Amino acid sequence: MTEKLAALGFSKGLIVETIVSTYDSNGRPNAAPMGVTMENAQQITIKPYITTLTYKNLQQQKCAVINITSNPELYYCTAFKEVNPAGILSQELFEKAETVNAPKLRTADAHIEVSVAKIDADKSERATVHCKVRLIKSPRKLPTVYCRATAATIEAIIHATRVKALCNDENEQEHVKELLRMIENCGDIVNRVAPNSRYSEVMADLNKRIKSWREKVKVYVKTSARLHMGLIDLNGNIGRIFGGLGVGIKYPNVILEAQQAEALCVTGEKIEQVKALAQRFFDFYRIKAKAKIHVKQTIPEHVGLGSGTQLALAVATALAKLFNVKASTAELALAMGRAKRSGIGTTVFEKGGFVVDGGKTVKNNAAVTECFPPPIFHMPFPEKWTFVVAIPNTKKGLSKDAEIAAFNQLPPMSAEKVGEICRLIMLKLLPALVEQDIKSFGEALTQIQIIVGTHFAPAQGGTYSSETTTEGIRLLQKLGVHGVGQSSWGPTFYGLCQNEKEAEVMQEKIRAFLNNGVGGQVFTTKANNKGVTIRVWC
Ligand SMILES: Cc1cc2nc3c(=O)[nH]c(=O)nc-3n(C[C@H](O)[C@H](O)[C@H](O)COP(=O)(O)O)c2cc1C
């Protein structure tokens, strides 16, 4: 037997490519390309992925035929059953083997009939099937010339089977990219040595199929709002400006799904805004705008919950996944024109939790826009602490040009006030957070809010942006919440409670307060300590 196997090109330990044919439990013939190895004169091992039908059939039937061929079309139609008429292998391809209950491929150059001696299947994704050789049939055949296109085409088919298996796995996208590069190289060889041939036809069909798998990939992104708890340095005379603190919350959310398409098409909420965001992404990364985006939920805009950054990052992250753009969240934020002053929204998008950012570098008396404000402190927010959040139906907070104008018109904050904020953060708020001391955390937060709000009073008409916000905050304090604040430019305001039960009581009181006045939304939410949820699937 060894001589016969050696004559067929086998040698101990060498992996050779073959097509393994088996019957399924209904007696239908199946065949799939598999690498096999000769262990000794009597034994060959096959290493099928445990997800393959071949593996199942080997387990059930305990036998197979190892078909020897270098015909790329046979490899192609057995690796991808969907390329066959009606998506199944024709029975005509097979005839019954002589010594085992398995089919063999009629057009193969040689057949090795085997029975399964032992299967090793530990926890890995591939099993090792030890087979005993029963019969070797190798009809005499004229030698054939070696054409590089044969090997290149079969190589491309192997890689494509992995692309198909992995293209919907978010963690395997680098691997998929590498496989696609290798397939492209194989295509180059085929085009060079065998243009307009059966090999180039297989390659063209393969590439079409790969494109269609990738087009089917869908990306789901869910992110959530943040509460901005204050800016730190509105003076900027020591080389950095802004800096801020904030926390990701679980609700409200941006939820969207995206997939590749023939053109840019947006459905659901905020269609025009999302189209513009997607176009910005495509222009920035010089990619043709070909995607379908369905926006299921958005965060109310211009109320202080950071909706713009979350929506922009949700769109950019989904498209980056779809089009294999390797960029960090901070890079995506800058590409999308976010993080102009604060890095809080971007950091909580990525990892949730409580964040302090270190502001922007100042050059020539202005913040440098192209640098990202680095997070200088980040930790999960206590799981039990709960916010009661109110969005009164009053005028919206400042945004875009009005926000820029407000920043430009305000005088610099005094160094003493900045110092006071820094001290409150360093020696009251952060230690209290680490020790989960809600009372001290809340006191520091409330004090910081008053200092920052007083600075912004000329731009927003008071320490807080509206009368309702001011009264609502006063009511929350009277009711005994541990800390209060207006998120960003408001009008959203919030109170910090020890737990959900306490927050629910506050929620009812604030709802009654709003219903007696301007109306609005009130809800309770905990911190989001995880950041964005991304799912990729086919
Ligand atoms: C040349 C070549 C070698 C391959 N080797 C293996 C292998 O050793 N093990 C395996 O599980 N899949 C291998 N594959 C991939 C399978 O053939 C492919 O996943 C096939 O669709 C499985 O079909 P089945 O589910 O009918 O068994 C190979 C593919 C090619 C083109």
Report pLDDT digits (tens) over 38-58.
Answer: 999 899 999 999 999 999 999
Nearest residue (CA) to ligand 1, atom 5: 34
In the three-class reduction of DSSP (H, G, I as helix; E, B as strand; rest coil), residue 281 is classed as helix
Residue 322: inside a domain, yes or no?
yes
Neighbours of 524 (CB within 10 A): 22
End of a domain among 117, 137, 157?
137
What is the per-residue pLDDT for 169? 77
What b/e readout covers 408-443, taking b as 16+ CB neighbours within 10 angstroms? eeeeebeeebbeebeebbeebbbebbeeebbebbbb
The answer to whether 240 touches 358, Cβ cutoff 8 Å, is: yes
Mean pLDDT of 63-75: 96
100 and 211 belong to one structural domain: no
Residue 206 domain flag: yes
Kindly tell me if the per-residue pLDDT of 168 is higher than 80. no
**Atom number of ligand 1 nearest to Cα 17:** 1
Task: Select the more confidently predicted residue: 224 or 124.
Answer: 224
- What total of structural domains would you count in the chain? 3
Radius of gyration of the chain (CA): 32
Task: Locate 490 and state its tokens.
Answer: 């408001």
- Torsion on CA atoms 75, 94, 16, 35, rounded to nearest 10: 70
Q: What per-residue confidence (pLDDT) applies to 538? A: 62
Domain that holds residue 41: 2-137
Atom of ligand 1 nearest to the CA of 157: 31
Whether residue 516 is predicted with pLDDT greater than 90 in this model: the reply is yes
Which atom of ligand 1 is nearest to 160's Cα? Answer: 31
Q: What is the DSSP letter of 27?
A: S
Rounded CA separation 479/508 (Å) = 12
Mean predicted confidence (pLDDT) in 439-450:
98
How much distance in Å is there from the Cα of 139 to the middle of ligand 1? 25
C-alpha 16 to ligand 1 mean position (Å): 12
Only one residue has tokens 């930790």, namely: 379
- Flag whether 532 is in a domain: no
* pLDDT at residue 2 in the model: 63
pLDDT at 125 over 80: yes
- Tell me: do 127 and 159 sit in the same domain: no
Average pLDDT value for residue range 305-311: 97
Residue 84 alpha carbon to ligand 1 centre in Å: 16
Tell me whether residue 481 is in a domain: yes
**Predicted local distance difference test score (pLDDT) of residue 409:** 83
Q: Are strands 360-363 and 240-260 parallel, antiparallel or unpaired?
A: antiparallel
Q: What is the DSSP letter of 299?
A: P
pLDDT digits (tens, 9 = 90+) for 390-444: 999 998 766 677 777 777 788 999 999 999 999 999 999 999 999 999 999 999 9
Per residue, the 3-state secondary structure of 116-129, as one string, reads EEEEECCCCCECEE
Residue 33 Cα to ligand 1 middle (Å) = 5
User: Measured in angstroms, how far is the CA atom of residue 242 from the centroid of ligand 1?
Assistant: 57
Three-class secondary structure assignment of 457-502:
HHHHCCCCCCHHHHHHHHHHHHHCCCEEEECCCCCCEEEEECCHHH
Quick check: is 16 in a domain?
A: yes
- The dihedral over CA atoms of 484, 381, 524, 474, expressed in degrees to the nearest 10, equals -10
Q: Do both 125 and 198 map to the same domain?
A: no
- Residue 274 confidence (pLDDT) above 80: yes
pLDDT of the residue at 164: 92
- Find out whether the beta carbon of 157 lies less than 6 Å from any atom of ligand 1: yes
Residue 537 confidence class, pLDDT cut points 50, 70, 90: confident
Q: Cα(79) to centroid of ligand 1, in Å?
A: 6
Residue nearest to atom 19 of ligand 1 (CA): 161
Q: Where residue 213 falls among pLDDT bands split at 50, 70, 90?
A: confident
**Torsion angle of C-alpha atoms 341, 343, 349, 351, degrees rounded to 10:** -170
59-73, 131-145, 468-482: which has the minimum mean pLDDT? 131-145
Band (pLDDT 50/70/90 cuts) for residue 104 is very high
Indicate the residue type of 182: M
Burial 147-178, CB ≥16 within 10 A → b, else e? eebbbbbbbbbbbbbbbbbebbeeebbeebee
If asked whether residues 436 and 338 sit together in one domain, one would say yes
Write down the mean pLDDT value for the chain: 94
| Ligand 1 pocket check for 17: Cβ under 6 Å | yes
> Closest residue (by CA) to atom 3 of ligand 1?
34
Asked whether the predicted pLDDT for residue 180 surpasses 90, the reply is yes
Q: 14: part of which helix (H) or strand (E)?
A: none
- Cα dihedral sign for 81, 86, 88, 91? negative
- Residue 62's pLDDT is 97
Question: Tokens 């005499």 appear where?
Answer: 140
What is the pLDDT, as a whole number, of residue 473?
98
Q: Is the per-residue pLDDT at 459 higher than 90? A: no
pLDDT at 226 over 80: yes
Please tell me whether the interface predicted TM-score (ipTM) of this complex is above 0.85: yes
Q: Are residues 193 and 237 in the same domain?
A: no
Count helices and strands in the chain by DSSP H and E runs:
16, 21
**Two structure tokens written together for 174:** 């680098």
3-state SS of 360-410 is: EEEECCEECCCCCCCEEEEECCCCCCEEEEEEECCCCCCCHHHHHHHHHHC
Residue 124's pLDDT band, with cuts at 50, 70 and 90, is confident
pLDDT band at 142 (very low <50, low <70, confident <90, very high): confident
Instruction: Report the residue among 34, 47, 210 best suited for mutation to probe ligand 1: largest number of ligand atoms under 8 A from its CB.
Output: 34
**Ligand 1 pocket member 48 (CB < 6 A):** yes
Q: Are residues 263 and 197 in the same domain?
A: no
* Shared-domain flag, residues 162 and 254: no
End-of-domain residue from the set 114, 137, 160: 137
Give me the pLDDT at residue 129, please.
Answer: 97
Q: Reply yes or no on whether the pLDDT at 127 is more than 90.
A: yes
Q: Which residues pair with 230 in a beta bridge?
A: 245
Tokens coding 489: 């430019």
Q: Measured from the CB, is residue 298 less than 6 Å from ligand 1?
A: no
Kindly state if the Cβ of 236 falls inside 6 Å of ligand 1. no
Q: Whose CA is nearest to atom 31 of ligand 1?
A: 158
The vertex-255 CA angle with 250 and 261, nearest 5°, equals 160
Ligand 1 close to Cβ of residue 158 (< 6 A): yes
Best mutation site among 68, 70, 158 for ligand 1, i.e. most ligand atoms within 8 A of its Cβ? 158
Q: What confidence score (pLDDT) does residue 1 get?
A: 67
Query: Which ligand 1 atom is the nearest neighbour of the CA of 52?
Result: 25
Selected residue with higher pLDDT from 144 and 502:
502
- Residue 150 beta carbon below 6 angstroms from any ligand 1 atom: no
CA distances from 87 to 52, 79, 90, 376, 439 (A): 16, 12, 9, 56, 67
Residues 235 and 201 both lie in one domain: no
Residue 117 within a domain: yes
Banded model confidence at residue 315, pLDDT cuts 50, 70, 90: very high
